[in-house]
Amino acid sequence: MRIGEIAALAGVTSRAVRHYHQLGLLPEPERRPNGYRAYGLRHAVELARIRRLTELGLGLAEVKDVLADDAGRELVEVLEELDGDLARQEAAVRERRARLAELLDRARAGELPPEGPVSPELGRIFAAFGPSDSPMAAKDRQHLALFDSMIGNGDGDGGTDGRRGELLAALRPLADDPEFVRRVEGMYRRLDELADAPADDPRIAPLGAELAAAMPAELLRLMSEGDAEQAVRGDFGEAFLGDFAPAQAEVVRRMIAALTERARRADGG
């Protein structure tokens, strides 16, 4: 048999067969006078065996090991390890599909926020909050999405939902309160109006105070806790303020100052 024939027999390509030769999985057969490889039944048997193993999901190196030592010992070990791998893979794929399904649901309903796929709960909160034609609201959503990703990284794998859960618990009641939502929308609009204002605009002070009043203490606590603390307090904080126009940044600075002050007083007295 020539290489194409044995390959077709085993259901692989000629290239794959040559690859197995290169890796030493399959011995090189004799050559015909013209240089063609001349395969016999033995090779077909071996090739079929290789293919059965690879179809199970073994890597070629593992196949080689298994073929190498005649005892079935090694095979069992390899198979057990492989099963563990596959179990993990299956779980991962299933989780991805679950998230995908949820995303697709929302996407088809036209509810996809331009921030891309965030966690479902956050998505609902996004939907409730802010008119999408406010640049400030859009930016805020981006920041929230980022923060959501960050705390998603922080915790381990299992456990309950931890810090992300707290975040959502803090946000959800606000999103469900129409009165609060209206207030926030008004503030977004007023922040938008400060986009081109100088840093000493008179509208800054009252807006900062109002923001501080509206902002739940829980949020600030979450942002200055845990793994993200150093990030938020360090260069990240600067980056955060740098993302706003001067007047807007000033508002945020005042809000933070007011909140910090409030927390200090609550702590001290």
Q: Which residue ranges make up the site for DNA (CB under 7 A)?
A: 2-5, 12-16, 18-19, 33-37, 54, 59-61
Check binding of 116 to a second copy (CB under 8 A).
yes
Q: Is the dihedral of CA 242, 244, 245, 248 positive or negative?
A: negative
Interacting residues with a second copy between 37 and 76 (CB under 8 A):
39-42, 44-45, 48-49, 51-53, 55-57, 66, 70, 72, 75-76
Is the distance from CB of 191 to CB of 136 less than 8 angstroms?
Answer: yes
Which of a second copy, DNA, none does residue 82 bind (CB under 5 to 8 Å by kind)?
Answer: a second copy
Quickly list DSSP for 105-122. Answer: HHHHTT---TT----HHH
Residues 50 and 10: their CA atoms lie apart, in Å, by: 9
Interacting residues with a second copy between 143 and 202 (CB under 8 A):
143, 145-146, 149-150, 152-153
Tokens of residue 205, six digits: 């002070």
Residues 136 and 188: their CA atoms lie apart, in Å, by: 6
Pick the piece of the chain touching a second copy (CB under 8 A) from 92-100, 202-210, 251-259, 261-269: 92-100
Helices (H), 155-245: 162-175, 178-193, 204-214, 217-223, 228-233, 235-242
Closest distance to a second copy from the beta carbon of 27 (Å): 15
Which residue bears the tokens 């293919």? Answer: 51
Interface positions with a second copy (CB under 8 A): 1-2, 5, 8-11, 39-42, 44-45, 48-49, 51-53, 55-57, 66, 70, 72, 75-76, 79-80, 82-83, 86-87, 89-90, 93-94, 96-97, 99-101, 103-104, 107-108, 110, 112, 114-118, 142-143, 145-146, 149-150, 152-153, 228, 231, 234-236, 239-240, 242-243
